[in-house]
Structure 1
Amino acid sequence: MTRKYFVVDHNPLWMEQFQTEKTLLKEIFGRSAVNIHHIGSTAIPSIKAKPIIDILIEVTSLSEVDMLNPELGKLGYEAKGENGIAERRYFQKGGIKRSHHLHCFLSDHPEVKRHLNFRDYLIANPEKAMEYSGLKHRLSVENDGDREAYLKGKEPLIKQFDKEAEIWFRKQN
């Protein structure tokens, strides 16, 4: 069965769900976890999102993450390897009714900065967040939840906001 991508209104419980999962993950990762971040649309107040909590863990070693696969499996996470992004370890929880995505990167990996900049930029710029939310909603409805069309449709705006977020971040620091 193919999963469909539909977005829903923001749920304030998403932050609590992240915090609960963060506690469980801290126990498993221990000192291997440098930081654990809530990323993706569920981390941005007021915008529509797929009801899947995206978590980014900055780690000290990907080989240590690989050794945690059995423990993460007990928590319901399925290891997917790099899954299209070099030097990442990716996990999904919830099977076809996915509830969590877990992305593990070394702290200096460029994807860490990109994800955090994107999230923080949209939080700091609610009008941009609403533009993104509207696009996601429109794409999920127009494409009847088709994953590929949804992802392809978001790509130009994400690239634009990534560039804007990088400039915004530099101005903040």
Structure 2
Amino acid sequence: MEIEVQHYQKQWPILFEIEQLNIKAILNEEVIKIHHIGSTAVENLKAKPIIDMLVVVTNIEKIDDYNELFMNLGYISLGENGITGRRFFKKGENPRTHHMHIFQQDKIYEINRHIAVRDYLRKHDVIAREYENLKEQLAQQFPDDRQSYCDGKDSFMKKLEQDALTWYLK
């Protein structure tokens, strides 16, 4: 699947709102809050056209019971996918359209770091442009290699997360 970084699309927040309703319909009272995160949540920031969502729930252990319902919506469960205490789902394959990161409400660090990065990029245009330029460069350099694309963002993202969390928690 080719990595494509696109200009900001006004429909991204709308696509999030629609999907949020679908998720709430499945999880009902398990859901505490659903956040639109990632680059598609930052107005005027170029992004891969994948809607990232952070779903905060009361009990992460119950989420696996909903896998079949999420499958009916087109999601594939990837379990924790490298982060302890998370449930990660992707929707669509070619093209992929959504990522869903689900955390229990007491995973404060994980929840805060996702929200902090989004809010930091919304408020710090110079950093947002640096990130955008890096993503465009990596997409050109590794158009068919998602792992190399992600690896290329790693050190920038670690610093961004650190700066964003410091700013967010002030």
- TM-score normalised per structure 2: 0.95
2:9 corresponds to: 11
- In the TM superposition, what whole-angstrom CA distance separates every residue of 1:33-59 from its partner, at most 9, and x where no partner exists? 110010111011111111110111001
Contiguous gaps of at least 5 residues in structure 2: none
- In the TM superposition, what whole-angstrom CA distance separates every residue of 1:51-102 from its partner, at most 9, and x where no partner exists? 1101110011112111111111111111111111111111111123211111
Aligned equivalents of 2:71 and 2:89: distance in 1?
9
1:45 corresponds to: 43
1:147 corresponds to: 146
Q: How far apart are residue 170 of structure 1 and its match?
A: 2.5
Q: How far apart are residue 167 of structure 1 and its match?
A: 1.5
Aligned equivalents of 1:86 and 1:37: distance in 2?
20
Q: Residues 54 and 102 of structure 1 are in contact (CA less than 8 Å); yes or no, is this contact kept in structure 2?
A: yes
Aligned equivalents of 2:142 and 2:65: distance in 1?
39
2:29 corresponds to: 31
Aligned equivalents of 2:118 and 2:106: distance in 1?
18
2:163 corresponds to: 164
Aligned equivalents of 1:56 and 1:168: distance in 2?
20
* RMSD over aligned Cα atoms: 1.1
Aligned equivalents of 2:127 and 2:93: distance in 1?
32
* Identity level (%): 40
1:135 corresponds to: 134
1:96 corresponds to: 94
Which residue identity lines up with residue 13 of structure 1 in the other structure?
Answer: Q
Q: Residues 92 and 102 of structure 1 are in contact (CA less than 8 Å); yes or no, is this contact kept in structure 2?
A: yes
Contiguous gaps of at least 5 residues in structure 1: none
Aligned equivalents of 1:51 and 1:136: distance in 2?
13
Q: How far apart are residue 126 of structure 1 and its match?
A: 1.3
Which residue identity lines up with residue 168 of structure 2 in the other structure?
Answer: F
Q: Rate the CA distance shift 1:58–1:159 in 2: closer, same or farther, 3 A.
A: same
